[in-house]
C-alpha cells in the first residue's frame, strides 16, 4: 500500500505536490547529473517526470534517458505531459532492474529510495547497471519535523485518529534519513563512501488548501485514511484547518529539508 500511486493520485500528485515540494529539488538533482556529462542515464521512481523533464531539457541531445517507475499510472501521467525531446518511459521495479550490467553512466532517483522495500538490494541493483566510474545520485526527505507542512498535516490527523493514527508520511517519505545508515548500505552495495548534502528550501502555496489536498489526496496517505474510514473530504478539511492555524489563511510558506546523496561506483 505504501508504494501504490494509482487511481487519481498521479494527477493530484502532479498538480499539487510537484510545484509544492518537488520542483526545487528536481532542478538541483538534474544539475548534479548534468555536471557528470553522462551519455546514458537511468532514472528510478520517476513518478510523473519532474526530474525527467529537467534532464531532457538540460542534457545534450545525444544523451539517452530511460525513465522508470514501479507504477504504470505514474509513467502514463509523465508520458502524457511529455518532454522537450524523446525519453524512453518504462515500467520497472528498482529491486529487479531489466537492464544489463554496466549499462549506464548515472542512475538517478528523486525521493523514491524511501519506498524501496530492501534498500541494500536496490542499491546493489543500481550499482550492477552502472558502468565503472559511474554514479548513483538520489535525494531523500529529512526528518518530518524539518518539513513543516507534512508535519502539520500528520499531527492534525493523529489528533483525529489517536487510537490508530495514520503514519504514512513519517514512516515512508520521512522515514529514511539516517545518514550513517544510508552510507553503510551504499558502501555494502559496493559504492564509495557517499557525499551527503543537506538542502533546505521553502514550500509555498496560494492557500492552506493546496498542501492539504496535496498530502491527503496526492499520496498513499489517502489509502491509510480510507482504511480507517475517515472520508477524504473530512481529512482534507482537518489538514487545511491545521495549516491555516499555523501558517495563516492566505498564502502559506513552510520549511522543507532534504538530503542529497552522490555515490560513486568503485
C-alpha atoms less than 13 angstroms from C-alpha of 229 in its C-beta half-sphere: 2
At residue 7 the predicted structure's pLDDT band, cuts being 50, 70 and 90, is: confident
Q: What is the mean pLDDT of residues 12-19?
A: 96
Confidence of residue 266 (pLDDT cuts 50, 70, 90): confident
Q: Do 22 and 49 touch, CB atoms closer than 8 A?
A: no
Mean pLDDT of the chain: 96
Q: What is the pLDDT of residues 92-108, one digit of tens each?
A: 999 999 999 999 999 99
Confidence bin at 5 (pLDDT 50/70/90): confident
Checking if the pLDDT of 1 tops 70, the result is no
Residue 93 C-alpha cell reads as 521495479
Q: What is the pLDDT of residues 166-208, one digit of tens each?
A: 999 999 999 999 999 999 999 999 999 999 999 999 999 999 9
Q: How much is the average pLDDT of 251-259? A: 98
List domains and CATH numbers for the chain: 9-264 (3.40.50.150)
**Which pLDDT does position 55 carry in this prediction?**
98
Please state, in angstroms and as integers, the Cα–Cα distance from residue 30 to each residue in 129, 137, 139, 204, 219, following that order: 19, 9, 11, 21, 23
- Asked whether the predicted pLDDT for residue 6 surpasses 70, the reply is no
% residues pLDDT > 90 (the chain) = 96
C-alpha–C-alpha distance, residues 131 and 137, integer Å = 14
Please report the pLDDT score of residue 41 as a whole number: 98
**Contacting residues for 172 by C-beta, under 8 A, at least 6 apart:** 2, 114, 115, 220
Percentage, residues of the chain above pLDDT 70: 98
| Residue whose C-alpha cell reads 555515490 in the numeric block | 263
> What pLDDT is recorded for position 4?
62
pLDDT tens digits, residue range 132-152?
999 999 999 999 999 999 999
Nearest to 259 by CA among 178, 161, 158, 151: 178
Amino acid at each position: 500500500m505504501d508504494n501504490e500511486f494509482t487511481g487519481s493520485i498521479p494527477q493530484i500528485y502532479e498538480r499539487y505536490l510537484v510545484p509544492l515540494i518537488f520542483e526545487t529539488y528536481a532542478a538541483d538533482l538534474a544539475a548534479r547529473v548534468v555536471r557528470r556529462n553522462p551519455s546514458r542515464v537511468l532514472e528510478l521512481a520517476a513518478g510523473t517526470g519532474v526530474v525527467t523533464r529537467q534532464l531532457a531539457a538540460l542534457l545534450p541531445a545525444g544523451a539517452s534517458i530511460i525513465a522508470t517507475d514501479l507504477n504504470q499510472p505514474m509513467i502514463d501521467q509523465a508520458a502524457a505531459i511529455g518532454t522537450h525531446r524523446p525519453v524512453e518511459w518504462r515500467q520497472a521495479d528498482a529491486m529487479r532492474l531489466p537492464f544489463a550490467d554496466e549499462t549506464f553512466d548515472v542512475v538517478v532517483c528523486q525521493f523514491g529510495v524511501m519506498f524501496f522495500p530492501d534498500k541494500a538490494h536496490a542499491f546493489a541493483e543500481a550499482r550492477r547497471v552502472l558502468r565503472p566510474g559511474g554514479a548513483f545520485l538520489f535525494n531523500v526527505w529529512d526528518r518530518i519535523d524539518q518539513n513543516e507542512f507534512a508535519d502539520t498535516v500528520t499531527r492534525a490527523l493523529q489528533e483525529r485518529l489517536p487510537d490508530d493514527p495514520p503514519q504514512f508520511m513519517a514512516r515512508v517519505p520521512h522515514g529514511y534519513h539516517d545518514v550513517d545508515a544510508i552510507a553503510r548500505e551504499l558502501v555494502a552495495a559496493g559504492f564509495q563512501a557517499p557525499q551527503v548534502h543537506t538542502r533546505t528550501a521553502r514550500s509555498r502555496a496560494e492557500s492552506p488548501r493546496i498542501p492539504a489536498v496535496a498530502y491527503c489526496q496526492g499520496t498513499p496517505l489517502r489509502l491509510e485514511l480510507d482504511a480507517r474510514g475517515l472520508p477524504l473530504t473530512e481529512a482534507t478539511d482537518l489538514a487545511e484547518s491545521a495549516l491555516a492555524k499555523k501558517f495563516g489563511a492566505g498564502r502559506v510558506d513552510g520549511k522543507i529539508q532534504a538530503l542529497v546523496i552522490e555515490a560513486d561506483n568503485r
